[in-house]
Structure 1
Amino acid sequence: MTPQTPADFAPPGTPPTDQQLSEARAALDAQAVETVQWHFHESTGCPFWLEKKSELSFDPLTEVHCYDDLKKFPEFEDEWLRGGPVRRWVPKGLADKPVYVFETGGTTGVPKSRIAIDDFRTDYSLFSDTLPENHFPRGANWLMLGPSGPRRLRLAVEHLAQHRGGICFCIDLDPRWVVKLIKKGWMDHLEEYKKHCIDQAVTVLTAGHDVKCMFGTPKLIESLCLGLEERGTSLAECGITGIFSGGTEFTPQWTRFCVEEMFGGPPEKSGVYMTPTYGNTLMGLACSEPVTQENDYKITYHAPQPRAVLEVVDFDDTNSVVPYGETGRSKLTTLTKEFFVPGFLERDEGEREPPYAAYPWDGISGVRPFSRLAGGTTVGVY
């Protein structure tokens, strides 16, 4: 059942029942087997994996019986996602479907890309079921304050708005240009470009379009609040009641500042409810446990199992998860008919968290750029 208010969620840290844990694990094992059968069968398989099959030391069709058997695959190399032909990723069983291509990264060199057909719609339709109705009312229009271009986020948020009966207003934002400005040290140009993006958003919010919900990255939400304040108004006065956001800069400290200073207080006081998410082109959206003043704005994410799995693994032994509360690298496995990615090591790290009542599988908190790579990471608008 869709939660109607934030209070309808179980309190943060509420453990699942043994039955919930067992059912979730059974669903994951079944999804892993079904996905591998699909991608490695000659009649439905993905050309990339059918070709890669000859290099494997085992037969995926006969030797994958559960999720843990995916450890038999070698570490997924992100270079496999750079360059073409992109059709090698389209499974034979879906070859007659219209195909999208979404890009991720690519601030230098050839960007990584993945094909998509309906995954982005499915991911965001499932996410829709987690949104509290009183803050994200059905039929409300949305503002998409984030990257445009060859990224899945714009189309995904637009689908979310349409799925909920609304219309999405999008701004034009090129994060690769932002990264170049930062690397060149052109901070005055960066400030003007950010102002250009915020001006687009303010125009939408003040044009009488009945926009009540929005997506925004942390930096852009903060800049939008300041821009509205300069104009003598606020998100609440413009009619915004529900915000979902995402990015590694979504920290407890920023959340506290945003809720208490920018919004004017928690939802029951300000009328503005914000939910953090952690997502990317490969995974979809990881939802968070409720983020409240009572739990010091701690943010714990849980992947959209069984379609995707997040594990917090040892920095050196990436087939081993770290103990609960310990720090490790984020490792992602994607398990859909459109895309199979076993064991992709993310550019993020965090702490492993125990299963939660609404999401009865492991979570991750404190998500931040992977420390051994962070020196080369430009966060930009995110």
Structure 2
Amino acid sequence: MPHDDGDILADLRPDPAEFLHAAMRWHFGPETGSPFWLERAGQLGFDPITDVRRYEDLARFPNITRELRHVPAEQLIPRGYGGVGELVGMFETGGTVGVPKRIPYFEDWARQNLAWTHAHLDAQGVPRGVHWLSTAPTGPHGVGHFARRQAAERGGICFTIDVDPRWVKKLIARDSPETEAYLDHLVLQITQLLTSQNIGVLMITPPLLERLTREPRLLELVRRKVRAIVWVGTHMDAATRRRYRTEVFPGIVLHGTYGNTMILGANDERPGLGPDDPCVFDANAPFVSLHVVDPETGAAVEYGQRGQVLMNHVSKSAFLPNNLERDTAIRMKPPAGRVGDSVADVMPVHTFEDELVIEGVY
């Protein structure tokens, strides 16, 4: 692969057209592409290197995310890395709609993703030099690794609790009374850490945040110690977000993120939004591009209309195009010069891939 392609793929804010062309050469070049995509190339009916010129052309690719439940990990590693020395991990989905999917996460993408996130946290007023408490999944899930690095790079320690999203989804699916006991178990761990440690940033999911507000002692601890709440994972409706900002947590920064494993990161809440504004999420383009479409036709809905979210991930680390997600959202105009859409008022569909969607605690 030419050296200038490598420079473009490592850039934090590359020109979208140049970046896309370089990415196609990387993922479909015989010396740099992954075995998975090199084998697939002959079945596509077009040449990605010559025929993919615009981000709209990514719609020509099949959605291969279902296959990621069973593909051997080494088949997904681009040959251009020369091994797994820079591999941060093989991260997995939460298993909301079946067997978890797996995708590689390399160090260069971690740096690009973290730079994007730090910029948005700074713009929202999330403080540096304070400790974090992450109440998000760890283990095979990327968000746990990401939280630790965010806190460390911002000058703090990241404390964590154990969250098993797969187990709590099973409990909810069978309407088990153990669900409440599991939530009590999580709340107890949060209480212990907030009591004993100086936590300045609380990373938490909306269901756990709502549960926290029911505990007067825990609510008082958050109001007294925490300077910013970063909510992740499941959705938060507009009325709840407004109530948190104006009544429950006044004076505390409330910052939302919308992402998942299949984009290897998150889309961040747009800075400067008021409590009555819709919560708009901007994508880390051109690496991640969002499109809000009619799921039946694949055509974009009008701005201000609801459709299903389609995501593309294009980086040196991985290539996941044309992925119809399990969420709907309002299509919003992106910041000037960005490819794709921004989204607002995200909510899950009821069923996806023939499975009932259960959000659980993450």
Task: Compute the TM-score of the two structures, normalised by the length of structure 2.
Answer: 0.88
Quote the Cα distance in structure 2 between the aligned partners of 1:342 and 1:298: 27
Deviation at 1:65, TM superposition (A): 2.4
Deviation at 1:276, TM superposition (A): 0.9
Q: Which residue in the other structure is 1:168 paired with?
A: 158
- Paired residues, number: 345
Quote the Cα distance in structure 2 between the aligned partners of 1:140 and 1:89: 37
Quote the Cα distance in structure 1 between the aligned partners of 2:290 and 2:123: 27
Q: 2:77 aligns with which of 69, 85, 90?
A: 90
Structure 1 residues not aligned, in runs of 5+: 1-24
1:99-118 matches, within 5 Å, as 99=87, 100-107=89-96, 109-118=98-107
Quote the Cα distance in structure 1 between the aligned partners of 2:126 and 2:304: 33
Quote the Cα distance in structure 2 between the aligned partners of 1:220 and 1:135: 23
1:341-360 matches, within 5 Å, as 341-356=320-335
Quote the Cα distance in structure 2 between the aligned partners of 1:183 and 1:142: 31
Deviation at 1:301, TM superposition (A): 1.1
Secondary structure of the 2:139 match is: coil
Deviation at 1:338, TM superposition (A): 0.7
Secondary structure of the 2:122 match is: coil
1:360-371 matches, within 5 Å, as 362-371=341-350
**Cα gap change, 1:297/1:255 in structure 2, threshold over 3 Å: closer, same or farther?**
farther
Q: Which residue in the other structure is 2:9 paired with?
A: none
Quote the Cα distance in structure 2 between the aligned partners of 1:326 and 1:203: 44
Quote the Cα distance in structure 2 between the aligned partners of 1:133 and 1:62: 39
Deviation at 1:77, TM superposition (A): 2.9
Deviation at 1:375, TM superposition (A): 7.6
Deviation at 1:165, TM superposition (A): 1.4
Shifted more, 354-363 versus 83-92: the winner is 354-363
Per-residue CA deviation, residues 53-94 of structure 1 (Å, 9 max, x unaligned), is 110111112222232332332x31322211131111100011
1:1-382 matches, within 5 Å, as 27-73=15-61, 75-96=62-83, 97-99=85-87, 100-107=89-96, 109-118=98-107, 119-132=109-122, 135-187=125-177, 189-207=178-196, 209-227=197-215, 229-230=216-217, 233-237=220-224, 239-263=225-249, 265=250, 270=251, 272-283=252-263, 284-289=265-270, 290-293=272-275, 296-318=276-298, 320-356=299-335, 362-371=341-350, 373=352, 376-382=356-362
**Cα gap change, 1:91/1:139 in structure 2, threshold over 3 Å: closer, same or farther?**
same
Task: Compute the TM-score of the two structures, normalised by the length of structure 1.
Answer: 0.84
Shifted more, 122-131 versus 333-342: the winner is 122-131
Secondary structure of the 1:43 match is: coil
Shifted more, 172-181 versus 129-138: the winner is 129-138
Quote the Cα distance in structure 1 between the aligned partners of 2:97 and 2:347: 21
Quote the Cα distance in structure 2 between the aligned partners of 1:169 and 1:63: 47
Per-residue CA deviation, residues 272-320 of structure 1 (Å, 9 max, x unaligned), is 1011110111221111223423xx24111111101110000122121x2
**Cα gap change, 1:94/1:232 in structure 2, threshold over 3 Å: closer, same or farther?**
closer
Contact 2:291 2:340 in 1 (8 A): no
Structure 2 residues not aligned, in runs of 5+: 1-12
Q: Which residue in the other structure is 1:9 paired with?
A: none
Contact 1:244 1:275 in 2 (8 A): yes
